[in-house]
Amino acid sequence: MFRWDLDKTYLRSEFSTFTQLLKSAFEKAEDKRAVPGAPALLRALRRERGALGRICIVSGSPTQMRTVLEKRLQLDGVEYDEFVLKPNLENMLRGRFRAVREQVGYKLPALLRSRAQQPKEVEETLFGDDAEMDAFIYSLYGDVLAGRVGDRELDQVLSKVRAYPDARKATLAAAAVARVGHDVVRRILIHLDQRSPTARFAKYGPRVVPIYNYFQGALVLFADGTLSGGAVLGTALEMIASGEYTLDALANSLQDLLRRGRLALAEGARLAFEIERADIEMDARMAAALPPRSEIAAAFAARVRALALGALPPVLADGHARIDYQALLASDALKGH
């Protein structure tokens, strides 16, 4: 399963002020813009995982925006299996104004209810951003499913975030049904829309990978064995075609993951090999305007070689840190999320 947030994860959304929030609410589908590379990555997940992959969107956007958001995804050629939006109008009519902005009491039960419908062995990759609390919520979700966080600790966390009593009750009920007793959340990718320091996410362990762009996201999934080199190439080409990224910038992104121990040199070399031999469909006009595959592969291979003789940190092994969620909430560690 691949779970996505929308605002600042898939869509470029600005709502730090009331004016920006109103503008976003009244935008047409054609006015909304996806983060470069996100549509290509989602299409690749659908294409390469096929019937084995399920794409689920759980967003804090209000339910009244469903038609516009569905049309935007359709325009981008993105297919999905589940689409959950937040009942903000209902919350306001009931005087639950705190729930409009509070995310844990909304997203966590939504994720758990969705998970309860899936086989216990299904693994998940989750995509979020650093604008709210996605790394916290997704990690908590994974630990609830695995059994590392029990009902008592979960209820204490919900109390600290001031979730409403019915939301607490619904979350505990959903957790009881969804809990599988082993790790199924394999990877959490956090798009750094706010450019938060990557070190801020170290407390969540190696399962959480902060990324500056979706080329890096594709690279992580390539290393995980989820996507092919051709899918990484398709994401890179879409980002270059957007005019916001150059081949050199993407090569820098590759090196950044290597330097952070999020990608092994061997994986970087294998990527260059697969890219040169990848067979992807592309509009002829677009193909003429973009660098050839051999040039892209050579650029990436050169960046890998440049670091091969240097002192790189060891690649972070998969694992799950013991996270003190209540301590995180009591500190300022979540500020800006």
CB atoms within 10 A of CB 277: 10
Q: Where are the domains of the chain?
A: 2-207+318-330, 228-308
CB 106 within 8 A of CB 86: yes
Would you state the structure tokens that stand for residue 27, as one six-digit string?
Answer: 């935008």
- Run of H or E including 84: strand 82-86
CB 82 within 8 A of CB 110: no
Handedness of CA 171, 176, 180, 182 (dihedral sign): positive
DSSP per-residue codes, 105-149: HHHHHHHHHHHTTS-TT--EEEEEETTTTHHHHHHHHHHHHHTSS
SS3 286: helix
Give per-residue pLDDT as tens, 42-55.
Answer: 999 999 987 778 99
Give per-residue pLDDT as tens, 66-97.
Answer: 899 999 999 999 999 999 987 655 555 565 64
Selection from 80, 188, 110 nearest residue 143 by Cα: 188
Listed as ranges, residues in the chain with pLDDT below 70 are 14-26, 87-102, 281-287, 332-337
Would you state the structure tokens that stand for residue 310, as one six-digit string?
Answer: 């240097």
CB 218 within 8 A of CB 189: no
Q: Is 120 left (phi over 0), alpha (psi -120 to 50) or beta?
A: alpha
Question: What is residue 216's predicted lDDT score, i.e. its pLDDT?
Answer: 98
SS3 76: coil
Question: What is residue 337's predicted lDDT score, i.e. its pLDDT?
Answer: 46
Selection from 96, 85, 76 nearest residue 11 by Cα: 76
As beta bridge partners, residue 56 has 3, 82
Selection from 139, 144, 119, 102 nearest residue 1 by Cα: 119
Would you state the structure tokens that stand for residue 256, as one six-digit string?
Answer: 């950044």
CB 82 within 8 A of CB 114: yes
Selection from 75, 188, 73 nearest residue 126 by Cα: 188
